[in-house]
Chains A and B, each alone.
Chain A
Amino acid sequence: GEDVEQSLFLSVREGDSSVINCTYTDSSSTYLYWYKQEPGAGLQLLTYIFSNMDMKQDQRLTVLLNKKDKHLSLRIADTQTGDSAIYFCAETHQAGTALIFGKGTTLSVSS
């Protein structure tokens, strides 16, 4: 079945770049997402990328997609303490179907 894998923890210092990685198994994945969950809150969409794109940049966020390796990454430039959260990678292959989520990467930012 479909699977989305990501490492569970990442620790960085304030001002450094963070890179959170994700791999997926469904080669027909069309939509790939990064969600952020702050403590005690629901999930909030950070950014998304379609499978026909290789890269998407949005302010401090850069998403890279390697379709051949089924690898997705989220780079956060100049990481701040407010970026501390759980980051979920998610995918779906068809509009209107449920998203498949990874287990989430807990990003810890120290000052």
Chain B
Amino acid sequence: DVKVTQSSRYLVKRTGEKVFLECVQDMDHENMFWYRQDPGLGLRLIYFSYDVKMKEKGDIPEGYSVSREKKERFSLILESASTNQTSMYLCASQDLKAANTEAFFGQGTRLTVV
């Protein structure tokens, strides 16, 4: 079974803090993604990575950065957290070799910035 694990289910951080959200997958997938999910807005892509040290901006990259030093780990960084970054963050991974290109999701991290 593919497993995508996000390091925290719930996080509460203060405005201005630097926040790290970690995601690890155990199936040697090339692609990894970070989405944020907000009521009525669905899932919006923040960043994705198709290889180690490679990254591409998604639809809403402002205020975020990412790091992929190892194939299995993709980190999302909030340089200076703000209240409008309170959201559910979902990490996903994807096997380029699979015919249906299914994306596998972690359980999500609900971040509250106060």
Which positions in A face B, CB cutoff 8 Å? Answer: 8, 31, 33, 35, 40-45, 48, 50, 88, 92, 95-96, 98-99, 101-104
Contact = CB atoms under 8 A, between A and B. Distances in A.
B98 to A, nearest CB: 8
A48 B42 contact: no
Contacts of B92: 43
Contacts, number: 52
A67 to B, nearest CB: 18
Nearest to A94: B101
Given A8-B40, A104-B42, A96 B31 contact: yes
Interface residues of B, number: 26
Given A88-B42, A98-B33, A48 B100 contact: yes
Contacts of A102: 42
Interface string B88-114: 001010101000111111111000000
B45 interface: yes
Given A96-B101, A98-B33, A98-B58, A41 B107 contact: yes
B66 to A, nearest CB: 13
Given A43-B90, A43-B105, A103 B45 contact: no
Given A8-B40, A96-B94, A31 B101 contact: yes
